[in-house]
Amino acid sequence: MKALAWCVRRELWEHRWVYVAPLAGGLALMGIFVAQGHAEIVGYLLRTLLLGGTVIAFVYCSEALHGERRDRSILFWKSVPVSDRVVVLSKALVALAVVPAIILALMWLSQLLARGLIASGSATPDARLVSPGWAATEMLATVLWQAPMYAWLLVVSGVKRRAPLLWAMLPPTLAMTIAATLGVPTALRDVFAMRGLLRHLPGPDALNGMPSRFDMGIVPASTLLSSAALWWGLVVATGLLTLAAHFRRRRAAM
């Protein structure tokens, strides 16, 4: 456990942007909306925050096992008594725990801020706000739902010599394209796209002007958490992380 905690810490030393970027971006967004007199929008930032967190974890995972091979530092990290499983787990935890925790804190802050603005009369009182518990459930469902995607990115990051992000996106994109031409797009969209970024892209109603609804996912969190697909996804994620540890053992510096 101690080694795991230090490995997570080590990740944050190397990838400071993982927490600096969402904090800076989130706070800046809130500040801009308040300053420009669009206080009511603060209450609608949840989807943007979730999407931002996904992008950050996405990019981080594609880089996490690639960078140490590229700069040969993998030999340094392997010269200490820390197993490949612990290292891979620590990198997964950045995407599955650290980034979500920061995003959740920002979500809570945005709701708190919106309530404050309503109380002070700066925002319209009819803005529908979400409870801290609702935000936490949404975050949890998102993380669990996306876990196989992050695990897959870690595998590719630990295997490919170049452009791991592109390689990671190639198979799902190809599969979706082929499936779309064959005419079975929805099932595959559920498998690939909705595991990833698309879950937080604005829905059709949001594209027609201001977002009017708060169910920001295409599928609500409660539906996700009770779906078998989510739990099967976790089984797949565990398998992929084991695979990533296996590859890390075999791959040395490039």
Partner 1 sequence: MACIEARGLRKRFRDRVALDGVDLSIGEGRVLGVIGPNGAGKSTLLQALLGLVPVEGELRVLGLDPWHARARLMRNVSFVTDVSSMPRWIRVAQAVDYMAAVQPAFERAKADAFLARNGLRGGDRIESLSKGLVAQLQLALAMSVDARLTVLDEPTLGLDVLARKRFFDALLARAEEESRTLVIATHELDEVQHILTHVVVLQEGRPILSCSMDDLQARFIEVAVHPDHLDVARTMDPLHERPTLGGSTLLFDGGDVDRINLLGTLRTPSLATVCTVLLELEQPAGQVA
Of 130, 245, 145, 250, the closest CA to residue 195 belongs to 145
Closest CB 93 distance from partner 1, rounded Å? 16
**Two tokens at 222?**
């409660």
Place of tokens 């829905």: 203
75 or 175: whose CB is closer to partner 1? 75
C-beta closer to partner 1: residue 74 or 169 = 74
**1 is an interface residue for partner 1 by CB under 8 A:** no
Measured CA to CA, the distance from residue 146 to residue 132 in angstroms comes to 21
CB of 157 to partner 1, least distance (A): 16
Determine the Cα–Cα distance for residues 29 and 216; give it in Å rounded to an integer: 18
Judged by CB under 8 A, the residue of 20, 27, 38, 73 near partner 1 is 73
Task: Rule CB under 8 A: say whether 27 interacts with partner 1.
Answer: no
Of these, 55, 59, 82, 218, which contacts partner 1 (CB under 8 A)?
82
How does DSSP assign 132-148, residue by residue?
HHHHHHHHHHHHHHHHH
Compute the radius of gyration of the chain from its Cα atoms.
20
Query: Per CB under 8 A, which of residues 84..103 are in contact with partner 1?
Result: 84, 86
**83 is a contact residue toward partner 1 (CB under 8 A):** yes
- Helix axes of 84-93 and 228-250: crossing angle, nearest 10 degrees: 130
Other Cβ atoms closer than 10 A to 119: 10
- The count of chain residues that interact with partner 1, using the rule CB under 8 A, is 28
Residues 79, 120, 181, 186: which binds partner 1 (CB under 8 A)?
A: 79
**Complex with partner 1: residue 67 or 220, whichever CB lies closer:** 67
Interacting residues toward partner 1 by CB under 8 A: 2-3, 6-7, 9-10, 13-14, 68, 71-84, 86, 249-250, 252-253
